[in-house]
Structure formats: C-alpha cells, structure tokens
Amino acid sequence: MSLRLTVISVLLSLILVSLAIAQEADRKQREAQAKQLVAEGRVLEKQEKLAEARDKYVDAEGILPTGDALGGIRRIDDAEKQKVEALLGQARNLYDQGKYADSAQLLQQALDLQPADAALEYDLVLCDRKLGERANAALHIDEAIAMLPDAKERAKLLQERSDIVMGAADPPTAGDAKKNLAAFNASFLQEDLDPGDPKAEGGSICSQAVTLSSQLPADPAVAFNAAKCAEEDARPSDAAERLADYARLAPNALDLAEAQLEQKSLTALAALPGDQGQLVRQHYATAARYLDYRRYDRATSEYEAAEQARPDYADTQWHLALLYEAFGNVAKARDHFTLFEKLGPDQDEKSEAEAHLSNLEGRRELYDDSVGDAQDVLSELLLSSLGVSSEGTKHKTKLTRQQSRYASQRYKNETRATEKFPAPYVQRELLRARADLDAAAEVFPLGAAANEMLALIDLQGNDWPGAFRNFDAVASQNLPVSFYAQANSGHDKTVRAVKIEIGANTVRIVYLSAYDSKKQVSVAPARPAGDDGLGNLVISNAQEVDANAESLIIQPAELKGIQTDKNFVVLKLAKDEIYLAPLDMLSDVPFEGSASRTFGNEYTRLFVRYLGYEDAKLGKEGMTTGEKVKLGFQIAQIGASVGLTVATMGAGAPAAYGAALRTAELANALTVLHGIGEGTKVIQLASAGARVAEDLQTSAATLERTTNDQRAVISGLAFKVIPEEAPTPKFRDKL
C-alpha cells in the first residue's frame, strides 16, 4: 500500500511539474509576442502613425500586460490630447473670425482623434448653424447630449435641439406661461412610467400640455405635444388638426415631412365609420401609449386586435409589417407587407412597401453576420474576464492596496475569481463589437440578439438609460434580460461565475465556472453552460434556453427579498442568501460608500423592472455623514472610471429623451458623409448607415425610406422639449 501511495504521489508531482513547465512555456511565448507587437508599435509611433501604433500596443496588452505597452498607449493618448487641444484652439480662432467652414473642418479632425468629446460635437453645432446646416447641427447636438453626465446641461441642450429642429421660435419671456413651460419640461425629462402605473394613463404631462395649449397657441412645440396627447386619447381628428398647426407654425421644421405623413394617417383613422372605426381608434391610442414605454409586444397585440376589428384597413397592416420587420421576423413582416399591397393603397405606398420587401432576406443575412461578429468579440472578453477560459490554470486578480486593506472578504473572494483584460484592450474590443451591433440595429432595430448585446456593452459603460432601452426590446419578445456576475452564498463560500437571466416570472442563475480560492483555479460545472460556456450569450427565442445547463431557478414566491448591500445585489431565500457581484470589465467596482451602492442599485433595479419585484430595497445613494468626512479613494476612483467609460462608451440621455440618434436622422448623416472630404469621420451612425447601404447593395435613399418608416412606427410621435428662452450659443472648450 505504501509503495502504491508513493507511486501515485510521484505521478501527481510529475503532472504538476509538467503543467508548470507548460505554463512557463506559454508565458514565454506570450511575452515574445507582446515584445514583438510593442516593437512594431514603436516603429509606427516614430512614423507618427498614432492610431496604428496604439492598436499594436493594445494588442500587446491583450496578450500580456506590460509597462512598455501601457506606456506606449499613454504616450499616444497624451499626444492625441495635445493635438486635439491645438485643433480646438485653432478652430475657436477661425470661428471668431467668421470662418465657420474652416473651423468645422478642424473640429472634425479633432473628433477623429477624440470621438467621445461633447464640447467638440457642440462646437460643430455652432458652425453648422452659422452655415445653415440645421440637419447636420441636429445630429451633432444629439451626440453631445448623449455624452453629457449632467442632467441640467442635457436639459439646456435638449431645448436648443428643439430650436434647431423646428427653426427659431420666440419663447415666452415671463409670467405663468413661462413657469408652466418649465414645469412641463421638468416633468417630461423625469418621468419614465410603466404602462401598469396608474399615472401612465393620463395624465400629468398631458394635463400640463393642455394648459400650455391655451397659454401658448403660437408655440410649435406646444402644438406638437398637444397632437401627441390627442392621439393617445383616441382623438385622431384633433391630433391631425394640431399637427396642421405645427406645420403652419414651423414651416421649416426638419421633421415636417414626418409630421405631415402622421397627419395624413390620423385623418384617415378619424374617418373610419361606425363602432368598428371607434374600436380601431381605441386600439391605436393604446398602442401609442405602449410604444411610449417601449412595450412593443403589447403595442403589437393592440394592432393585431385592430386588425381583427377591421381586417380591410391597410394602415394596420403597415404598422404590423414594420413592427415585425423591426423585430427581425422576416416571415411575418413579408406577410403583412403583402397584405398591405393587396388592400389597395396608392402607387407611392405600394412603392414604399416594395422597398421593404425587396431586401428583407438581405437584411436578415446582414443582421445575422453582424450579430455573429459582435458575439465572437464579447464571448472572448466575457470568458476571460469571468475566469471561464482559464479553467484548470492558476489565476487571480490582484487587489489594490486599499481593496486588500479595507474591502470585505466576500468582495476580495469574488474579485480574485475574475481575470480581467487590460482596460484599453476591453475598450477597443467593446467599441468594435458596438460597431457591428450598430449595423445590425440599423436593419432590425428591435432585434433581440443585437439589443441584448448592446445592453451588455451599455452596462460596461455605465450607460443605464441605454441598457434599459435595449433590454426593453429584449423583454418585449418574452425573452429574459441578463447580466454576468461572480456569486456566492451564505452557506456555500465557493465563488461561481454566473449568468443571471431575469424573466417575467423567474430568475435563473446559470453556473459557468467555480473558483477554488485556495488553489486559485476555476473548475468547469458538472454540465456545460450552454454551447458557448456562457449559458448561451445570445438567446433568440425561448426554445434556445439551455435547460440542461447547471443552474438554479428561483420563482418570485421563493424570494424573501432583494436588496443592494454595498456593491452587491443580494437575493434572499428562505434558507440562504445569494450575493451577486456584477461584472465590470472596464474599472474596479467600488467596495463601499455612495458610489458602491449606486452601482449595486442599478442592477437591483433590473429585478424591479423585468421581474416586477416591487419590494426590492435599494441602498442609499447619497453619502452618509461619515462618508462625507471620509470621501475615500474608492469614490474618487469610481468617478474617474465612470468618467472614462462614459467618454469612451457613451453616456445615456434621459429615458424620456430616448436614443441619442433616431433612425429617422440616418438620411442626414449619410448626406453629410457623402458631402465631406475623404477620410473625415462624421459620427458612428453615419458609418453604420453607410456600411448597411453598401452591404445591402442599396441606395442611401432607399435605406433612408425604410429606416424612417420603422422609426415612425416604433417611436410614433415623441414629446418635444419646449425652448424656455432663446439659445445663447457659445463656443466651448469643455462641456
């Protein structure tokens, strides 16, 4: 027996030695690859090919983090920052001299180097307005708004945006009207109601809109908002009249064509006779309210009910066709477009339907290819960051001195189980994935797979409004919304990488890997976590949920509570508590204080919004007295980290405002793209639109038509923020 144990011991030792030798050989190989990439980066840097050099350094960091690669990235970032500052100074001087086109050219060059700069975008707005390019100005102000973290600054720019879209207006200077106008804007920008909320049925915003209509009959934004309220109150005739007022009061509005098309549709709806016509109008009004709150499934059901009430009404087929097209359901979209053509619309409308029908399959192929490319990028990042790709290999994330000294043991254990790529590498790869997903969303804006991955990217960029917008599209197709985390429980101290799937009726925790903190090794679950090791990153329909994966399913009745505890989301069960530490690949999550609770609260809100768990307990987001005295390293750190990720990934605009760039504006972006010099970057949407047009082998005009059609149905009429005073444009160095 002793000899047998000795042999086993020797064999185990030999295996460990072999593993150590293999790991060392792998390390040396990666070290050599990283050194080669750094050397290539230095050559490119000397040639002043800074973008190419940065890519080499970032690639090196992705293989093996080194001081040389990180130093190269910092040098290039500093050089680009200095160039941007110089270009901005020159642009300001040219603007002051009245040379607006020359100023805009330099600002575009600065945006090439530093695309996520709200001040540069805003200064381009000023140039565009001086040059009479209002459509281009609207695009750039949207970009600036989306990047601003400060709510007050966003509100000011939203008012200026309305002024740009409608053309100059004369806001009230004093009195009750001015106060009521300010109150309306504040209410609109703060509210994001669910249709189940009784307040959603009516009224505070529309009550204020009615008051403003009597006080400010000559304000085009007031007329437009009154039209929206009339539409949602099943009064299409009144809505059409108010849109006619809008066209009269703002004859040069950028959205005039869309408003007139909506007016035509509302007039036809109002003319439907009898009880059936009234029933259709009621379903349309309810659908409009659901679209406001991004409940696309319920809106679709309302249009289907309208179809049952009046099968021969062509406009209903049009709405259903566009909604199904936006979802990416090509078969149903084709059926409804075909029915629309048969119901006898005029030749222009038939031509519009044919534009959609002609490339449905091409759109599907482009969507699938773009989603697949993005999935490859995100899968690599997630598998590595969660420690799944390092199963069987020793690894642990190094804690900072503050984390080691002050953080809880639970925080330390869950952080050590994570294996992060360097932040510059993650940023670049996330932006690459987003470019693919932007292209996918251009053709199917409500596609579940694209929206799910866009939401995951938004989570990494701390863009919560953006994440909710995208998750809403996923949830509207009866699919769970998901995020990734490290987890352990009160009874089982093992740290597990998990995927959290939040459905309408269940929470499912899919186990991806288990981390042994003593051996510092991740171990695969007993049953594979989906086909990709991530519990299936993309779930396009309910049948694709991997029921065989090792998981825990929790019914709402089993939950005794959900709460934020520092940066953790805690699921309380009858006999256990599960602590979830959401994955943040771009920065170190704060372990205590206000920033920590704010981070945890956002994930807790996912359970409130999508599971409907109303008794969740959020952490206090303001600082306690002790925290005000001891601001601490971690609060400063998360502030810097959030600032970095907001600048690079994009901050979210208020939920009431919606997406930074509506698909209706794609035509303007494409026009700008074709009208500028070779190699100049406009904005990401324009690039995505150009790529889609090229890949589909269609014209920009056709793409404009189809995306405008989708936007009109998905968004419908959207409230306008009303200018409270005449804008005072001012060239900005910072915003």
pLDDT tens track for 134-180: 999 998 998 888 888 777 888 889 999 999 999 866 776 667 888 88
- List C-alpha distances in Å: 329 to 182, 220, 296, 334, 354: 42, 37, 14, 9, 17
682 pLDDT above the threshold of 70: no
- Is the pLDDT higher at 337 or at 729? 337
Kindly state the percentage of the chain with pLDDT values over 70.
81
Does the residue 470 lie in any domain? yes
Question: What CA–CA distance (Å, rounded) separates 515 from 513?
Answer: 7
Q: Are 317 and 304 in contact (CB under 8 A)?
A: no
Find, among 561, 190, 637, 212, the residue nearest to 407 by Cα: 637
Angle between helices 700-715 and 256-270 (to 10 degrees): 50
The total number of residues shown for the chain amounts to 735
Would you place residue 647 in the very low, low, confident or very high pLDDT band (cuts 50, 70, 90)? Answer: very low
700 pLDDT above the threshold of 80: no
pLDDT at 644: 31
Would you place residue 312 in the very low, low, confident or very high pLDDT band (cuts 50, 70, 90)? Answer: very high
Domains of the chain: total: 5
Domain identity same for 236 and 377: no
What pLDDT, in 10s, does the model give residues 391-416?
A: 778 888 888 888 888 888 888 888 88
Q: Which two tokens stand for residue 540?
A: 């396009």
Give mean pLDDT, residues 337-359: 86
Domain identity same for 55 and 175: no
Cα dihedral 229, 230, 236, 237 sign: negative
What pLDDT, in 10s, does the model give residues 98-119?
A: 999 999 999 999 998 888 789 9
Average of per-residue pLDDT values in the chain: 81
Question: What CA–CA distance (Å, rounded) separates 693 from 673?
Answer: 12
pLDDT at 707: 76
pLDDT at 595: 84
The domain that holds 214 is classified in CATH as: 1.25.40.10
pLDDT at 73: 87
What pLDDT, in 10s, does the model give residues 530-556?
A: 888 899 998 876 557 777 889 999 999
Give mean pLDDT, residues 57-82: 86
Does the residue 308 lie in any domain? no
Give mean pLDDT, residues 231-238: 94
What pLDDT, in 10s, does the model give residues 605-638?
A: 999 999 988 888 888 875 444 433 333 333 223 2
Q: Are 69 and 37 in contact (CB under 8 A)?
A: yes
13 pLDDT above the threshold of 80: no
Strands 495-502 and 521-523, sheet pairing = unpaired
Domain identity same for 572 and 481: yes
Give mean pLDDT, residues 571-585: 92
Give mean pLDDT, residues 672-676: 29
200 pLDDT above the threshold of 70: no
pLDDT at 643: 30
- Is the pLDDT higher at 704 or at 276? 276
Residues whose CB falls within 8 Å of the CB of residue 407, separated by 6 or more in sequence, listed in order: 399, 415, 591, 592
Would you place residue 345 in the very low, low, confident or very high pLDDT band (cuts 50, 70, 90)? Answer: confident
Residue given tokens 């309208």 in the structure block: 306
pLDDT at 664: 30
Does the residue 330 lie in any domain? no
Residues whose CB falls within 8 Å of the CB of residue 217, separated by 6 or more in sequence, listed in order: 223
Would you place residue 277 in the very low, low, confident or very high pLDDT band (cuts 50, 70, 90)? Answer: very high
Domain identity same for 402 and 257: no
Domain identity same for 581 and 696: no
- List C-alpha distances in Å: 39 to 72, 274, 303: 10, 78, 61
Would you place residue 677 in the very low, low, confident or very high pLDDT band (cuts 50, 70, 90)? Answer: very low
Domain identity same for 218 and 233: yes
Give mean pLDDT, residues 75-103: 93
Give mean pLDDT, residues 229-255: 94
Find, among 79, 59, 67, the residue nearest to 426 by Cα: 59
505 pLDDT above the threshold of 50: yes
Residue given tokens 């030695």 in the structure block: 17
How many Cα neighbours within 13 Å face the side chain of 391? 13
Give mean pLDDT, residues 512-522: 86
How many Cα neighbours within 13 Å face the side chain of 667? 14
Domain identity same for 230 and 369: no
Q: Which of 81, 99, 127 is the last residue of a domain?
A: 81
The CA-to-CA distance between both ends of the chain, in Å, stands at: 76
- Is the pLDDT higher at 396 or at 374? 374
Q: Which of 649, 680, 707 is the last residue of a domain?
A: 649
Cα dihedral 515, 519, 521, 525 sign: negative
- List C-alpha distances in Å: 314 to 104, 243, 282, 306, 324: 46, 22, 17, 11, 16
pLDDT at 695: 56
- Is the pLDDT higher at 134 or at 666? 134
Question: What CA–CA distance (Å, rounded) separates 127 from 125?
Answer: 5
Would you place residue 192 in the very low, low, confident or very high pLDDT band (cuts 50, 70, 90)? Answer: low
Q: Which of 649, 675, 695 is the last residue of a domain?
A: 649
pLDDT at 94: 95
Domain identity same for 29 and 77: yes
Domain identity same for 40 and 136: no
Q: What is the DSSP letter of 97?
A: T
Strands 551-554 and 561-565, sheet pairing = unpaired
Domain identity same for 215 and 144: no
Does the residue 349 lie in any domain? no
pLDDT at 293: 86
- List C-alpha distances in Å: 385 to 238, 372, 390, 409, 484: 55, 20, 9, 20, 10
Helix (H) or strand (E) holding 646: helix 632-649
Does the residue 319 lie in any domain? no
Q: Are 726 and 171 in contact (CB under 8 A)?
A: yes
What pLDDT, in 10s, does the model give residues 584-593?
A: 988 878 888 8
Residue numbers of the domain that contains 191? 171-271
Q: Are 160 and 138 in contact (CB under 8 A)?
A: no
653 by DSSP, 3-state: which? coil
Least confident of 76-90, 189-203, 363-377: 189-203
pTM: 0.84
Does the residue 471 lie in any domain? yes
560 pLDDT above the threshold of 60: yes
- Is the pLDDT higher at 539 or at 200? 539
Find, among 218, 188, 219, 215, the residue nearest to 204 by Cα: 188
Does the residue 317 lie in any domain? no
651 pLDDT above the threshold of 50: no
Question: What CA–CA distance (Å, rounded) separates 93 from 89?
Answer: 6
Does the residue 123 lie in any domain? yes
Cα dihedral 367, 319, 667, 473 sign: negative
Domain identity same for 156 and 178: no
703 pLDDT above the threshold of 70: no
Would you place residue 2 in the very low, low, confident or very high pLDDT band (cuts 50, 70, 90)? Answer: low
Would you place residue 694 in the very low, low, confident or very high pLDDT band (cuts 50, 70, 90)? Answer: low
Domain identity same for 162 and 175: no
Find, among 589, 662, 612, 502, the residue nearest to 161 by Cα: 662
Residues whose CB falls within 8 Å of the CB of residue 336, separated by 6 or more in sequence, listed in order: 317, 318, 320, 321, 324
Determine how many CB atoms are found less than 10 A away from the CB of residue 245. 20
